[in-house]
């Protein structure tokens, strides 16, 4: 309803809530009631009110939590707050005395009425009118996608709801409150809508206006939302019985030998799997929803018509090191980062006197699946500029990465050598006598990284071998690999094997 202005009220006492509602209505505003912290944040995010009035009992004793949640959300950080409290806390986080206020209980209704009216009269921001907002932003974990769509439907909103989170990006187009199209990654329509309904984290933003584009969704919004929520609940219930997304699936028989009378979705899935395909690709390529596709996959597997042929997608070339080596390195990671989530990488330091040698070393890994080169290297136009820090990453398996870290041997960079050691398992010296600036420069780096730090080390010989003995005699005894004979991968494998055997994971403290 255009022109409506909103005040969110949260009070556990129905009589007080009714009194506050009358005060708000007499001031020309529409009250919206909430109960509890989650309900308060949901109402504030959805309506972006002119004012929040809440009793501290609704915050379970943590008034600061409400202030913190609102003041850190740009969409509602401007909304003033009136707290009805038994006592005044000395320091409420994010409390703004120029905008917010606290009234102690038992309060006088005239005093409350005056405080609310004075606060509303001070407002001059155009965001006070929730119904005429052209944009709305917030956190998905505070307001679920199904709830958002219900609000848009009840208010007949037209526009585009854009979503971004750990599972990528998506959008839902609305016309008069009804979803008319949805996109989630490479899929669209009902399949995409149902996927987006399952999102529980991320950010949303709504832009009002004509949605545009073709209509791919039809039917009752309530029915679509309810069915999407039901299917997602079923998927969560049977999730532990499903293949992993990167598992490869294949038919156990030819498509021609499939039994008659299969459900259309089951036959579509079977036809796709005439050639091996990952479970994730099957979900993306079928026209049916994810739940319907999953049901078809389970039917085929239970009937012995479908099987997993690999636990994960294959590498185009052999793995860098044996699986037992990777397992040992994972153990080192867990031991070193005990109690720290998200740690899945180890570091190998590349020591050189020339950026071109680093690029040549990385070029030897270019054809290996799981390798990625840092894009900043290609962006540097100065061929003489040194490569410093992370220059590439090589995936050892689906959960473990080897980070390649360039440490220039130049004396000017010596203060950085100690911090570079953190998390490292070995050193590779990139050597080409014809391009190196002299044995002294490399000797200092060798003396520190190998002599003092005691890390596993090897040489990668760049270009021709001639002249190596004269220029790099001090490196005698280290394993040597030639760049033209898959030296990059072989040298890294050598470091991994030695580190796994010795249990080496270095930190910058020595």
The reported pLDDT for the residue numbered 328 is 78
Burial category of 390 from C-beta neighbours within 10 Å (exposed 0-12, middle 13-18, buried 19 and up) = middle
Strand partners, 83: 54, 102
The CATH-assigned architecture of domain 323-502 is 3-Layer(aba) Sandwich (3.40)
The reported pLDDT for the residue numbered 319 is 60
Q: Indicate the pLDDT class of residue 241, thresholds 50, 70 and 90.
A: confident
Ramachandran region of residue 423, left (φ > 0), alpha (ψ -120 to 50) or beta? left
pLDDT(434) > 60: no
The reported pLDDT for the residue numbered 355 is 83
Question: Rounded mean pLDDT of 304-309?
Answer: 85
Distance, CA of 212 to CA of 329 (rounded, Å): 52
pLDDT(190) > 90: yes
Distance, CA of 139 to CA of 44 (rounded, Å): 12
* Structural fold of domain 6-130: Rossmann fold (3.40.50)
The reported pLDDT for the residue numbered 310 is 57
The reported pLDDT for the residue numbered 90 is 57
Distance, CA of 509 to CA of 502 (rounded, Å): 19
Are 52 and 40 spatial neighbours (Cβ–Cβ below 8 Å)? yes
pLDDT(451) > 70: no
The reported pLDDT for the residue numbered 420 is 77
Q: Which residue has the higher pLDDT, 71 or 92?
A: 71
pTM (predicted TM-score): 0.42
pLDDT(170) > 90: yes
Q: Where are the domains of the chain?
A: 6-130, 134-237, 242-310, 323-502
pLDDT tens-digit map of 378-393: 555 555 567 788 888 8
pLDDT(58) > 90: no
The reported pLDDT for the residue numbered 12 is 84
> What token pair was written down for 381?
């136009």
Q: What are phi and psi of 499, to 5 degrees?
A: -65, -40
- CATH code linked to domain 242-310: 1.10.10
Q: Indicate the pLDDT class of residue 17, thresholds 50, 70 and 90.
A: confident
Question: In sequence order, what DSSP letters do the residues of 141-156 get, joined into one string?
Answer: TTS-HHHHHHHHHHTT
pLDDT(182) > 50: yes
Q: Which residue has the higher pLDDT, 10 or 119?
A: 10
Are 56 and 105 spatial neighbours (Cβ–Cβ below 8 Å)? no
* CA proximity to 380, closest of 411, 358, 407: 358
Do 6-130 and 323-502 have matching folds? yes
Are 58 and 10 spatial neighbours (Cβ–Cβ below 8 Å)? yes
The reported pLDDT for the residue numbered 227 is 93
pLDDT(334) > 90: no
Three-class secondary structure of residue 388 per DSSP: coil
Question: Rounded mean pLDDT of 223-237?
Answer: 91
| Length in residues, the chain | 510
The reported pLDDT for the residue numbered 123 is 58
CA angle 117, 42, 291 (to 5 degrees): 160
Question: In sequence order, what DSSP letters do the residues of 190-256 get, joined into one string?
Answer: HHHHHHHHT--SSEEEEEES---S-----S-HHHHHHHHHHHHHHHHHHGGGSPPTT-EEEESS-GG
Distance, CA of 200 to CA of 83 (rounded, Å): 30
Of 175-179, 486-490, 498-502, which range is least confident?
498-502
> What token pair was written down for 347?
């570091």
């Amino acid at each position: 309803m255009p022109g409506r202005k909103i005040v969110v009220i949260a009070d556990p006492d129905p009589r007080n809530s009714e009194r506050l509602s009358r005060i708000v209505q007499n001031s020309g505003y529409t009250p919206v009631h909430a109960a509890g912290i989650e309900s308060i944040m949901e109402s504030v995010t959805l309506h972006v009110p002119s004012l929040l009035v809440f009793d501290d009992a609704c915050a379970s004793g943590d008034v600061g939590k409400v202030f913190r949640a609102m003041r850190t959300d740009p969409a509602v950080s401007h909304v003033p707050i009136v707290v009805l409290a038994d006592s005044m806390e000395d320091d409420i986080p994010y409390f703004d005395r120029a905008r917010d206020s606290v009234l102690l209980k038992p309060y006088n209704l005239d005093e409350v009425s005056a405080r609310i009216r004075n606060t509303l009269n001070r407002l001059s921001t155009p965001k006070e009118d929730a119904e005429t907002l052209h944009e709305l932003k917030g956190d998905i974990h505070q307001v679920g996608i199904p709830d958002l769509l219900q609000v848009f439907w009840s208010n007949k909103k037209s526009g585009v709801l854009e979503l971004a989170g750990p599972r990528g990006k998506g959008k839902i187009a609305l016309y008069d409150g009804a979803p008319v199209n949805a996109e989630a990654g490479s899929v669209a329509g009902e399949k995409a809508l149902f996927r987006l309904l399952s999102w529980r984290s991320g950010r949303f933003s709504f832009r009002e206006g004509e949605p545009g584009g073709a209509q791919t969704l039809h039917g009752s919004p309530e029915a679509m939302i309810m069915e999407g929520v039901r299917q997602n609940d079923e998927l969560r219930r049977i999730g532990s019985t499903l293949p992993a997304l990167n598992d490869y699936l294949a038919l156990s028989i030819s498509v021609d030998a499939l039994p008659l009378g299969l459900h259309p979705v089951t036959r579509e899935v079977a036809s796709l799997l005439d050639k091996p395909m990952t479970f994730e690709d099957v979900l993306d390529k079928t026209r049916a929803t994810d739940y319907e596709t999953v049901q078809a996959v389970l039917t085929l597997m239970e009937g012995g018509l479908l099987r997993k042929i690999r636990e994960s997608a294959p590498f185009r070339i052999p793995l860098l090191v044996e699986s037992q080596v990777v397992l040992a390195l994972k153990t080192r990671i867990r031991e070193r980062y005990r109690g720290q989530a998200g740690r899945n990488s180890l570091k190998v330091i590349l020591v050189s006197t020339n950026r071109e040698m680093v690029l040549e070393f990385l070029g030897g890994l270019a054809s290996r699946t799981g390798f990625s080169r840092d894009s900043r290297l290609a962006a540097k136009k100065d061929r003489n500029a040194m490569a410093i820090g992370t220059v590439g990453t090589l995936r050892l398996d689906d959960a473990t990465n080897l980070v390649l870290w360039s440490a220039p041997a130049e004396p000017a960079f010596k203060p950085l050598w100690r911090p570079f050691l953190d998390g490292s398992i070995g050193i590779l010296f990139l050597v080409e006598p014809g391009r190196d600036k002299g044995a002294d420069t490399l000797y200092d780096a060798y003396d520190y990284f190998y002599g003092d730090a005691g890390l596993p080390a090897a040489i990668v010989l760049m270009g021709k071998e001639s002249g190596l003995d004269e220029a790099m005699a001090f490196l005698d005894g280290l394993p040597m690999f030639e760049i033209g004979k898959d030296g990059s991968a072989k040298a890294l494998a050598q470091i991994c094997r030695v580190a796994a055997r010795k249990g080496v994971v270095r930190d910058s403290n020595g």
